[in-house]
Amino acid sequence: MNNSKSTLQRKRVNILKILVTGGAGFIGSHTVVELLDRGDQVVIVDDLSNSHLKVVDRIEKITGKRPDFFLANICDFSAMEKVFKQYDFDFVIHFAGSKAVGESVEKPLLYYRNNLESTWVLIELMAKYNVKSIIFSSSATVYGQPDAVPIIETSPYSPTNPYGETKMINELFLKDVTAAYPDISVICLRYFNPIGAHESGIIGEDPQGIPNNLMPFITQVAIGIREELFVFGNNFDTHDGTGVRDYIHVVDLAKGHLAAVDYLKANPDASFLIINLGTGRGYSVLDLVKTFSEVTGIEIPYRITERRAGDIATCYADVSLAKDLLGWEAKFDLKRMCKDSWRWQSQNPKGYCGNCSQKE
């Protein structure tokens, strides 16, 4: 066998078969692009409740590869079992879930069911079909009001709403699972504030209705969908009185998942880990508005309003564990995040398809 042939064969042996739940969503789709770009095989399961089938076409446009796609809710055990039977997965990356804080307060039944039953189904099937590794999408929201910043992973749990509570309970559940099933390893990645978009401008964040989060609101003001930004309070104990957060480029975040997959592959006995994914830097609402205007040349009219219930002054990550353990750190700065968010919004003024059906 000549050299190039044996290299090719070795590479094929290393291809991972990865189930990505919620792979049509904002963070999921960017992660799928990175996985496909490096040669892994991806199977997406998504119910499109907060995403679009068009995402799959666009992933193919960027990578030249089409991930297999199944339309199903992760809580549907028999639908999921069919997928597990069909593929011999090496990994699961579990993004699927409901994520609007306000809605979670109004609909706790929906949030507890969607966000907890889904993980339970996945673990049942992983145990049955001998899949040993899962990366779980957690959130800095589990810290609530932090005692100190930067926030380290050992800070106490203190979520302030059902959404955050479901993230916390999932983490506790997964920890118990690893204790009872030593073969299964879990990494919970606690995301700080993901913004930005793929540099192609063809995939990005596409919130339904009025955006809850800051960056999509800013880009919708910039494109003219909304008149002005409401800045929720300017009397916090921060450098300019507005809330400070750790904004992280979604592509950096996606690459953090690849680093976590590689870590579990190299350390199958890892058992249970919780790791922050952020930049370690905090910027205020007005810092973000100013930087966005600088890089796009578009003024963002804003008005200071009351604080939003539950908002905290300052939240940014201690990122040393991600660096030490995964060898990962965020590369893109705030300017790049703003540029990429704007490219996505300006190329897709109404998101993936405006008023069309999500299944189109």
Which residues form the catalytic set? 163
* 3-state secondary structure (DSSP) of residue 228: coil
The region, left, alpha or beta by phi > 0 then psi within -120 to 50, assigned to residue 127 is: alpha
Q: Is the CA virtual torsion 281, 285, 291, 292 positive or negative?
A: positive
Distance (Å, rounded) from C-alpha 168 to C-alpha 143? 9
Q: Which residues bind ligand UD1 (CB under 6 A)?
A: 101, 139, 141, 163-164, 193, 212-214, 217, 229-232, 243, 245, 285, 308, 310-311
Closest CB 124 distance from ligand UD1, rounded Å: 27
Could you tell me the smallest distance in angstroms from the CB atom of residue 53 to ligand UD1?
Answer: 24
User: In 3-state terms, what secondary structure has residue 205?
Assistant: coil
Measured between alpha carbons, how far is 252 from 254 in angstroms, rounded to an integer?
Answer: 5
By beta-carbon proximity to ligand UD1, the closer residue of 24 and 125 is 24
Residue from 318, 60, 29 nearest 196 by CA: 29
Nearest CB to ligand UD1, comparing residues 217 and 332: 217
In the complex, least distance from residue 44 CB atom to ligand UD1, rounded to whole angstroms: 21
> Which residue, 36 or 188, has its beta carbon nearer to ligand UD1?
188
Smallest distance from the beta carbon of 39 to ligand UD1, in angstroms?
30
Q: 133 — phi, psi (to 5°)?
A: -130, 135
CB-closest chain residue to ligand UD1: 243
- Burial of 147 from C-beta contacts in 10 A (0-12 / 13-18 / 19+): exposed
Radius of gyration (C-alpha) of the chain in whole angstroms = 20
Q: Cβ of residue 5: shortest distance to ligand UD1, in angstroms?
A: 47
Q: How far apart are CB 216 and ligand UD1 at their closest, in Å?
A: 8
Residues paired with residue 302 on neighbouring β-strands, in sequence order:
229
Instruction: CB nearer to ligand UD1: give 86 or 145.
Output: 145
Concatenating the DSSP letter of every residue in 127-170 gives HHTT--EEEEEEEGGGG-S-SSSSBPTTSPP---SHHHHHHHHH
Nearer to ligand UD1, 18 or 140 (CB): 140
| Shorter beta-carbon distance to ligand UD1: residue 77 or 232 | 232
Phi, psi of 8 (to 5 degrees): -60, -45
> Do the strands 244-245 and 185-191 form a parallel or antiparallel pair, or are they unpaired?
unpaired
Rounded to a whole number of angstroms, the minimum distance from the CB of residue 69 to ligand UD1 is 25
Which residue lies nearer to ligand UD1 by CB, 40 or 165? 165
Residues 6+ apart with CB under 8 A from 85: 129
- The 3-class SS string of 277-294 reads ECCCCCEEHHHHHHHHHH
